A and B are shown apart, each in its own frame.
Chain A
């Protein structure tokens, strides 16, 4: 039965989000307003936008799920994911913001195209890879929205999906990054406060932190170790190394995260944003992981039972809350928390797809003389189209969807990290090096991803690490074999072994 109070809470949340979208739509006069919020974001809106873009519904449910399944050896995720925000700001943000402000860049592709002197091939390849990866990610997020609405209200999957998608598409299409950033500020606050309240309740219901660790150690002594070794072990030291690298650098250069840098008003924001974002998000991530550990105790002591589905561990936080809080009203609050986490990433992903298509492909490759208003319209239509296509994917998700979402971060890591880092820091990196490195990184991540997915060979590290190494080698070898980039461009793009001069 639908609880009227829980339904009212969700409805108020939805109305507030659309309200922000309508307010933001009045600020949209041109493409720059829509895509980079007129480069007007201040410290807190930017910091929360970064946290909200990285923290998805998958983080909320998947982090505790991974903790439930593999225990303490997965704890490194709690450091690596928040660190990705700091990495993005420090290693990509400071320089790129300075260059972008001078040159009026709208997307990361604008930077890549100018730094490597390749306005069509590199821009096209990079934008296409960004769109595909974002769409895969987006389909997973829509599925998460529908899981929460189905769980709370018992409505059919497709109706739940349609309601969630309609709300988020509406405010993103009309309000652009202004709406995305301001809704994310609200969503971020809901998420942080929600986890700060809900997770300790679940942990206390399991008997407290020390008791949880004691029970975990009794179930299996390696559960409380920082890593595991031996046959069949997953979180071995070498795997953890590649996992940390993947999460820290891969998420930092993800299209929906790195593009936020271009919307910052003042570079002084970068002074404390890394520490504040890391601190806030690390606390949230640790609490979520401890809730997953609490799930081990709650299941072991017979307090709760997980559903008999292949991804049962992903339900551990939801079921933990249900076991600890026997009230529909509180479940309503919990549903809003999960929806906030999902929507804060979903809207950013949709806007990224819209921008990459309208700006990088339509305006810069297909129709360079298109007026600003037309590009803005194409952007809004592509946000809508992206929502429609991913909705279809989410209504009938392919079996590989969960794997594809994980692979998405791996592909971003192998494809974008090397051209971005070498472009900013290595003066000898050339156009050909970037093209070959990006193409080989993409192909190699698909090949090694296939080997890992179909279990053709046992890979001791995450598959994306091998593709990343290939991309690094390709960048070095091809760059050294080809003509250096002009000194003028290197100086203009602030290329060199420094972050700040």
Chain B
């Protein structure tokens, strides 16, 4: 796909998704502090 080997797509895409999920989790579990 896209002229790229599967390993490249899986590794780079996987790492990107993993970071997004981790940061989403951070946002959802962040404890709000009174302003």
Contacts and interface: CB of A to CB of B under 8 A. Distances in A.
Nearest to A270: B30
Contact of A83 (B7, B19, B35): B19
Interface in B1-35: 2-5, 7-8, 11-12, 15-16, 19-20, 23-24, 26-27, 30-33, 35
Contacts of B19: 79, 83, 86, 278
A271 B26 CA distance: 7
Given A213-B3, A224-B3, A271 B23 contact: no
Max chain B C-beta neighbours (<10 A), residue from A216, A226, A267, A279: A226
B18 to A, nearest CB: 9
Interface string A200-215: 0000000001111110
Contact of A500 (B4, B15, B31): B31
B12 A75 contact: yes
A272 B25 CA distance: 10
Contacts of B35: 266, 268
A274 B31 contact: no
**In terms of DSSP, what is the predominant structure of the interface of chain B?**
helix
A79 B4 CA distance: 18
Contact of B26 (A75, A76, A90, A266): A90
A275 B20 contact: yes
Contacts of A270: 30
Interface size bucket, A side? 20 to 34
A72 B31 CA distance: 39
A274 B2 contact: no
Interface in A330-345: none
B17 to A, nearest CB: 11
**In terms of DSSP, what is the predominant structure of the interface of chain A?**
helix
A83 B5 CA distance: 25
A226 B4 CA distance: 10
A109 B17 CA distance: 35
B8 A279 contact: no
Contacts of B30: 268, 270-271, 500
Contacts of B5: 224-225
A217 B33 CA distance: 51
B24 A275 contact: yes
A272 B26 CA distance: 8
A201 B15 CA distance: 27
A150 B35 CA distance: 48
Max chain B C-beta neighbours (<10 A), residue from A214, A268, A279: A268
Contacts of A214: 3
Interface in A242-273: 266-268, 270-272
A213 B26 contact: no
A209 B2 contact: yes
B3 A278 contact: no
A324 interface: no
A79 B16 contact: yes
Interface of B: 2-5, 7-8, 11-12, 15-16, 19-20, 23-24, 26-27, 30-33, 35
Top 8 A-B pairs ranked by shortest CB distance? Answer: A213-B3, A275-B23, A214-B3, A271-B30, A210-B3, A267-B33, A226-B8, A266-B35
Given A79-B19, A266-B33, 13 more contacts: A72-B4, A79-B16, A86-B26, A213-B3, A226-B12, A271-B27, A271-B32, A272-B27, A275-B20, A275-B23, A275-B27, A278-B20, A500-B30
Interface of A: 72, 75-76, 79, 83, 86, 90, 209-214, 216-217, 224-226, 266-268, 270-272, 274-275, 278-279, 282, 500
14 contacts: A75-B8, A79-B16, A86-B26, A90-B26, A209-B3, A214-B3, A224-B4, A225-B8, A226-B11, A270-B30, A271-B27, A271-B30, A274-B27, A275-B26
